[in-house]
Chain A
Amino acid sequence: MRTFPVIFAIALCMLRPTGGEAQERVPPAPPEGLRAIDHPWDHGDRIDLSWDLSPDDPSRVGAYRIYRAERVDGPYEIIGRVGAGTNQFVAEKLERDRPYYIKVIAVAHDRSESAPARTAQPVAPTRQPFDGSRFWLSIVTLIFCGSVVFWINHARKGRPVKIRKIPGLEAVDEAVGRATEMGRPCLFIPGIQDMNDLQTIAGITVLSRVSQIAAEFDAKVEVPTCRSLVMTAAREAVQASYLAAGRPDAFNPDLIYYVTDEQFGYVAYLQGMMVRERPAACFYMGAFFAESLILAETGNTVGAIQIAGTAQPAQLPFFVAACDYTLIGEEFFAASAYLSGEPGQLGSLKGQDVGKTIVALGIIVGVVMYTLAHVVGLDTPLGAGLSQAVRYLREVILT
């Protein structure tokens, strides 16, 4: 029993570092010339830091730790860490116009720390009038808006604007006509999102056209909505369409009504209604989620002609499988201009094509450059240059 404390003491001595080893942990030389300047063209929440590397970098220094404080005597909190050989850092998430003291410490491989390099004066991030990180995006926006204005003027001067045929939209007349012949109603579902969703707005524009044709044919269009605001907007759109068709007296606001905000409650109502009333034509135009297939399959079961339009990629296969026609993404957004045939709207559509061309070119250039960089090898000057260009494209232009 007495031997145990002795063995334990020996083991402890073996584990403890010897005095000689402790003396060898000399801290590395500190980094020098720490500079802190406000990050240019930002929201006022970043400071750019740079310093001269420690003379012991990279032989002894493994990393640098960056600290910040609001008073010169602290307390300092760590805000970042960079590896050896790096002499720059961007301090982020700072408060605008608040002065900060910064210090940088070199950390050796043996974890010993150098004396800190400090900023002589506190630095406060300030806000600039323009967000420089969005410079390229602003250029693209200007080109895009300019082209839209140009093409609208172009179309208004009476010059022809060609637009490809979209079968799903061509079929709208056919669907409403069929409902008229069968003496059954048309059902229009503008998705389950509110008016702040672009797809709902696109759906309402298609509704305008559907209701105008219905007014001309004297067919009934029923629009149950999932949101109160959509109901209000849909009523306005349908009323305007009946007016445009010269039949304001035929407009019945009670056919456009609110059901519930709840997704599956809404689906349950629609399903029951479709089975009972057996609409001859069903339009699904807007943002849909899990309910897409339930609705489209029910419509299929009751034998309705079905036209769907959405930009939800996950729901497209369901609509394609269960509907007669499907408007995919941009086709759906182009519906308003396509259906109205108004020169101003067609010109706007053409102008948007310029923006899409820029995006398509960007994709092609990026893919070709990145592929080429890998083909020639990233270690060659050409490959490294291409890789650098792709990084710039991705991190600066497209961010």
Chain B
Amino acid sequence: MKRTVPLMITALGGFVLIVAYFIPATQGWGEVAAIWFDILAAIAFVLGGGNLLKIHLKKASDRAPGWGYSVITVLAFLTTLSVGLGKIGVNPNPMYPGFPLSGDYREIGSPFWWLYEYAFKPLTATMFAMLAFYIASAAFRAFRAKNVEAVLLLGTAFIILLGRTFAGVYLTSWLPDSLFGLRIENMTITIMSVFNTAGNRAIMIGIALGIDPIWGRGRSDPCTNS
């Protein structure tokens, strides 16, 4: 029963969405199914919050490795939650001045806004910025010129990177108009619009059809053979 009922609900949901696609009178059913999911996800969010508290409080009380981070997580979670739910420091809506909680919790200058602008956004931006270093380290490994394919990949990457900088444009600006296509910025455009587009389409079709278009052997690291 525990297995059958969820399976039946899943099958029913699938059939509703397929039928709604072909029969105009039932098109609203698909939207209703999407709303069900939203309700489910909203309830599950409470479950997630509870789980977060449970896991990190346990970690902190057990003095497990890295428990200090758990304390910070719990404090940050509770602070943001209370500031947001309590609408601390938010002015009431001008239409309802008698109701202190009628204001917008994201009001500019409010503590919640402050937390978002000066704590959350910089932290997110920092994490994202770290991606540049990881790209460099991955490129260093992937672009090692060990064989012909790797040399081609390395050369192409070099042209693309250079072609998107002012230095690249400056380096080949002396080429006459008859050799216009050999200027690095134009080579970049040709590579991106012809070779890259063709390769991308091949990968996309391969993904959709289940064909392994480039890395036929399934093992990663196609150029270094390591």
Chain A: residues with CB nearer than 8 A to chain B? 42-44, 127-131, 134, 137-138, 141, 166-168, 194, 196, 227-229, 231-232, 254, 257-265, 267-268, 272-273, 276-277, 290, 293-294, 296-298, 311, 313, 316, 318-331, 333-334, 353, 356, 359-360, 363
| Contact A128–B69 (Cβ < 8 Å) | no
With known contacts A290-B131, A313-B204, A127–B48 Cβ distance under 8 A: no
> Beta-carbon contacts of B17-50 to A below 8 Å, as 1s and 0s?
0100111110100000000010011001111110
Of B40, B44, B69, B123, most buried by chain A (CB within 10 Å of CB) is B44
Of A44, A128, A131, most buried by chain B (CB within 10 Å of CB) is A131
Contact among B21, B51, B200 with A257 in the assembled complex (CB-CB below 8 Å):
B51
| Contact B138–A321 (Cβ < 8 Å) | yes
With known contacts A167-B219, A329-B206, A329-B208, A262–B124 Cβ distance under 8 A: yes
For the complex formed, measure the closest distance between the CB of B130 and the CB atoms of chain A, giving whole angstroms.
6
In the complex, chain A residues whose CB is within 8 Å of the CB of B55: 254, 257-258
With known contacts A290-B128, A329-B206, A359-B209, A297–B215 Cβ distance under 8 A: no
Given contacts A130-B24, A293-B135, A330-B211, 10 further A-B contacts (CB under 8 A): A127-B24, A137-B22, A231-B48, A257-B52, A259-B52, A261-B48, A272-B66, A290-B131, A294-B134, A324-B219
| Contact B41–A141 (Cβ < 8 Å) | no
The distance in angstroms between the C-alpha atoms of A137 and B55, with both chains bound, is 48
The distance in angstroms between the C-alpha atoms of A196 and B142, with both chains bound, is 34
For the complex formed, measure the closest distance between the CB of B198 and the CB atoms of chain A, giving whole angstroms.
13
With known contacts A313-B204, A318-B138, A131–B23 Cβ distance under 8 A: yes
Chain B: residues with CB nearer than 8 A to chain A? 18, 21-25, 27, 37, 40-41, 44-49, 51-52, 55, 58, 65-66, 69, 123-124, 127-128, 130-131, 134-135, 137-139, 141-142, 200, 203-213, 215, 217-222
For the complex formed, measure the closest distance between the CB of B125 and the CB atoms of chain A, giving whole angstroms.
8
In the complex, chain A residues whose CB is within 8 Å of the CB of B220: 319-326
With known contacts A43-B27, A130-B22, A258–B210 Cβ distance under 8 A: no
For the complex formed, measure the closest distance between the CB of A193 and the CB atoms of chain B, giving whole angstroms.
12
Of A44, A327, A328, A330, most buried by chain B (CB within 10 Å of CB) is A328
For the complex formed, measure the closest distance between the CB of A371 and the CB atoms of chain B, giving whole angstroms.
15
With known contacts A130-B23, A232-B44, A293-B138, A254–B128 Cβ distance under 8 A: no
The distance in angstroms between the C-alpha atoms of A356 and B210, with both chains bound, is 8
The distance in angstroms between the C-alpha atoms of A322 and B209, with both chains bound, is 24
| Contact A313–B203 (Cβ < 8 Å) | yes
In the complex, chain B residues whose CB is within 8 Å of the CB of A130: 22-24
| Contact A293–B131 (Cβ < 8 Å) | yes
| Contact A194–B41 (Cβ < 8 Å) | yes
Which chain B residue lies CB-closest to A311?
B207
| Contact A134–B21 (Cβ < 8 Å) | yes
In the complex, chain A residues whose CB is within 8 Å of the CB of B124: 262-265
| Contact B25–A127 (Cβ < 8 Å) | yes
In the complex, chain B residues whose CB is within 8 Å of the CB of A263: 124
23 A-B interface contacts by CB (under 8 A): A134-B21, A141-B18, A227-B48, A228-B41, A231-B47, A231-B48, A258-B47, A264-B127, A297-B138, A313-B207, A318-B138, A321-B142, A321-B220, A324-B221, A325-B219, A327-B218, A328-B207, A328-B215, A330-B207, A330-B209, A331-B212, A356-B210, A359-B208
